[in-house]
Structure 1
């Protein structure tokens, strides 16, 4: 069974990497709340929560922008 949610990037924080040179980017996402009928439907099913994603490769962090929306699928791994 897979559960799908829709999250929106709320903030991106850059800090010094703890494991060597470079930066770590922390992307904070929260469930969508409005903006479309689809977002309202997702909000009705997932009214709260957050995802904090910390990435070191700059090319990964650069794929996220504040305000951007993402589908997040939760699928059992085992």
Structure 2
């Protein structure tokens, strides 16, 4: 039996370049569409910050863009 997947929707609020690479900051969506209103009911508050040294990966995210974040249990 597979474990359930929990899906959240986040918006990229900042993309910064520094000496260590790139820092990407995401916050949960709150408004902007009917779907976002629905996600906001179930998505916890918080912030996700990730880093990468790969410019191609960092540039694949657009500030203001919305992204799904899926949580699945690791076996």
TM-score (norm 2): 0.91
Partner of 1:38: 35
Partner of 1:74: 71
CA distance in 1, matches of 2:18, 2:28: 24
1:1-78 equivalent positions in 2, closer than 5 A = 1-17=4-20, 24-78=21-75
Aligned alpha-carbon RMSD (Å): 0.8
Runs of 4+ off more than 4 Å: none
Structure 1, unaligned stretches of length 5 or more?
18-23
TM-score (norm 1): 0.88
CA distance in 2, matches of 1:72, 1:30: 11
